[in-house]
Amino acid sequence: MSAAPAAPRARDVANDATKGMLIALVALGHCAAAQRVWPWLHAGGLYDFHVLAFLLLPFLRPASACSTRVFADRAVRYLVPFVAFALLSALVWHATLHPSVRWYDLPLALIRGDVSALAQGVGFTFLWFMPCLLSLTILRSLFAATRQPVRAILVAALLVLHGLLAGCALPLPLNPLPALFALPLGWAVAALAPWQRGRWLFLAVAIACGAIAGISGDHINVASLSLPDWRAPDRLLLHDVYAIAATLTAVHFGGVLARVPGLAQVGRYSLVIYLSHQFVLKFIEFWSVRQPWYAESTGKIAVAAVAVPLSLLAGWALARLLDRPQIRPWILPQTLRDWPVTARLVRPRLDPAQ
């Protein structure tokens, strides 16, 4: 007789609300109209942490087990939507705005993890994130499986590497370099997260560092590793502290954010919203720049006020559509066994209670 199935795990509403706020900031940071009105959104404001925070949030949970089965499950979970949205982006991009771009270079760009080639082939740079997230999962698992003194040596090596990655645009499968850059920051987030009383301090530090970076026009781009290096340790430290403090602020105020209507629902579907929001932003921008009123700041503000919420709403609606049982396994599988393409290749696990 088999055991009763375990009850589904309750969702962490505060965590969903945190992700909801972060994905809203991602959409705002990617909105060209908002960038033209408030340049600091790109220079030191949001780009220093809004997507990077999604690489740091996993450090609040233990690393996955180090096994080929776990890695295969994660590969399916992250790479299937990555490829699906890459192909969709390429189709839309070439059918509308850039039919002359060589779309047949896309498969090689997908395999190599070439951020620049991906941007040219699909019109957007957001797809770097999914392979990077898989690399981060694998690296965390491998690191957790090491023992002292190897672990101490790896920590020292990664701290040095953190300052040497600036401008390193070497295309590698699964885009591991941004993941390597994020590892020390994630460890800091994990170490400081239990300090609940420090949330106001984290907020003050985040505002101060963000303001300094914004005023100086200094910013980072994790996707292309356009960031200060070891030759400017003060600037690198500024951005590191900003990313850590801003992420911890978002996490510690998750309970407050959960009271904002709809924010947790947006966060629940943040992955699909991330993969789809730039479609809406790009085409609203494409239409707006041809309007005479767009030349004024008020016109750009109006476009941003419409485009950002609309991109979130469209992404949420798409996520609800993809969440249907007939569609989800094909586009958003959770494990190797969930994906219909590989489901028959995985042997079912025996239930010890049988």
Reported as a single tens digit per residue, the pLDDT across 75-85 is 999 999 988 88
* Residues 70 and 64 sit within 8 Å (Cβ to Cβ): yes
pLDDT of residue 5: 42
pLDDT of residue 98: 66
Which H or E run contains 207?
A: helix 199-216
**Interacting residues of 61 by C-beta distance below 8 A, sequence separation 6+:** none
> Which pLDDT belongs to residue 352?
46
The per-residue pLDDT of the chain, averaged, comes to: 85
Query: 169 pLDDT exceeds 50?
Result: yes
pLDDT tops 90 at residue 126: no
Question: CA–CA distance from 47 to each of 20, 278, 280, 353 (Å)?
Answer: 17, 15, 19, 50
Q: Is the pLDDT assigned to residue 350 strictly greater than 60?
A: no
What's the one-letter identity of residue 66? C
The predicted pLDDT at position 354 comes to: 44
Sole residue written with tokens 């963000």: 210
Q: Give the residue-averaged pLDDT of 229-252.
A: 88
Residues whose CB falls within 8 Å of the CB of residue 92, separated by 6 or more in sequence, listed in order:
123, 279
Mean pLDDT for the stretch of residues 99-127: 71
CB 49 within 8 A of CB 323: no
Q: What is the per-residue pLDDT for 101?
A: 60
Q: What is the DSSP letter of 16?
A: H
- Mean pLDDT, residues 109-125: 73
Q: Which has the minimum average pLDDT: 2-6, 259-263, 285-289?
A: 2-6
Mean pLDDT is highest, among 97-111, 129-143, 339-353, for 129-143
**Residue-level pLDDT at 227:** 75
> If pLDDT is split at 50, 70 and 90, which confidence band does 106 have?
confident
Q: State the average pLDDT over residues 111-140.
A: 81
Q: Among all chains, which residue has been given the structure tokens 């690399």?
A: 135
**What do you get for the CA distance between the two ends of the chain, in Å?**
5
Q: Where are the domains of the chain?
A: 13-345
CA–CA distance, 302 with 48 (Å, rounded to integer)? 25
Digit-coded pLDDT (tens) for 5-47:
444 456 789 999 999 999 999 999 889 898 888 887 776 677 7
Stretch 279-295: mean pLDDT, rounded?
89
pLDDT tens by residue, 290-314: 889 888 889 999 999 999 999 999 9
Checking if the pLDDT of 158 tops 60, the result is yes
Question: Looking at this protein, which amino acid is placed at residue 280?
Answer: V
pLDDT at 267 exceeding the cut of 80: yes
CA distances from 26 to 20, 41, 112, 150, 205 (A): 10, 10, 25, 37, 20
| Residue 312 or 117, more confident | 312
User: pLDDT class for 323, splitting at 50, 70, 90?
Assistant: very high
Name the DSSP class of 221: B
Mean pLDDT over residues 326-334, rounded?
Answer: 92
Tell me which of 214-218, 276-280, 291-295 is least confident: 214-218
> How many other CB atoms sit within 10 Å of the CB of residue 298?
10
Whether pLDDT at 4 is above 50: no
Query: What pLDDT, on a 0 to 100 scale, did the predictor assign at position 96?
Result: 73
Name the least confident of 194-203, 231-240, 309-318: 231-240
Distance CA 5, CA 15 (A): 25
Percent of the chain surpassing pLDDT 90: 47
Tell how many helices (H) and how many strands (E) occur in the chain.
16, 0
- Is 148's pLDDT higher than 80? yes
**How much is the pLDDT for 351?**
46
